[in-house]
Amino acid sequence: QNVLFRGVGEPLNNVHSVAEAVRILTDDNCFRISPSKVTVSSVGPSPELIRATADVRAMLAWSVHAADDSLRKQLVPTTKHSMTRLRDTYLDVLKARTRGMSVFMVAVTLINGVNDSEEHAEQLVQLMQPLRDAGIKLCVDLIPYNDIGAAGTFGLAGGVQFTRTQPDRVNAFQKVVRSYGVTCFVRVTRGDDEGAACGQLVTTAGKLRRKRQAAQGGEAAQE
């Protein structure tokens, strides 16, 4: 049994309700799930909200996506604080935990030509070095981007359309991270052949809705 709070809106924007849900899931008189089997994943909206996880009996995960402040701001527009400040706040929270509950997952969605270079991998490891120095066990989760079939572009010079990172670039990124002795896994994509992978469902629903609206508009015009 594993429970992951992710993909349902930012958990820390509703941290008190999330904490209560975790309490029920881990209560011996309720679901009796081990706290080490429950994970709360967040982009880390602010130091204040990160500190609010101190009393949440669950593992913590940070959706980083980029260690560089400028790039991270473009990938996660809600970012209002530097990555070092967010990292240091997580470090304070994790240091106060027991060893078993201080394992920290770091997630990076790899986008072709945007955040998937070996340099980006080096930046990620350097950002996390203070946690390693403090004895925090890290686990980096690499997530190949799922194509949503949209024409959205990335705000770099000339614009870059989001596409999935090629396997050789994923492997190179993973190799750099592992060369520092950091555990690093590549997420196995499931459901993308049916448009049902992470990030694809809402896009599919939107396409169907627009098609229905267009069809209804055509029928109205004929009348």
pLDDT of 191 reads: 45
> Across 128-202, where does the E strand assignment appear?
138-144, 153-154, 160-161, 183-186
pLDDT of 214 reads: 66
| Residues in the chain with pLDDT values less than 70 | 148-160, 189-215, 217-223
pLDDT of 161 reads: 78
Of 143, 141, 146, nearest to 191 (Cα)?
Answer: 146
pTM (2 d.p.): 0.84
Per DSSP, the three-state class of 44 is coil
Q: Which residue has the tokens 């499931």?
A: 190
Q: Cα separations (Å) of 173 from 1, 70, 223?
A: 30, 20, 58
pLDDT of 200 reads: 42
Per DSSP, the three-state class of 31 is coil
Intra-chain end-to-end CA distance of the chain, in Å: 56
pLDDT of 197 reads: 42
pLDDT of 8 reads: 84
Longest dimension (CA), the chain: 71
> Across the chain, where does the E strand assignment appear?
3-5, 38-42, 59-63, 104-110, 138-144, 153-154, 160-161, 183-186
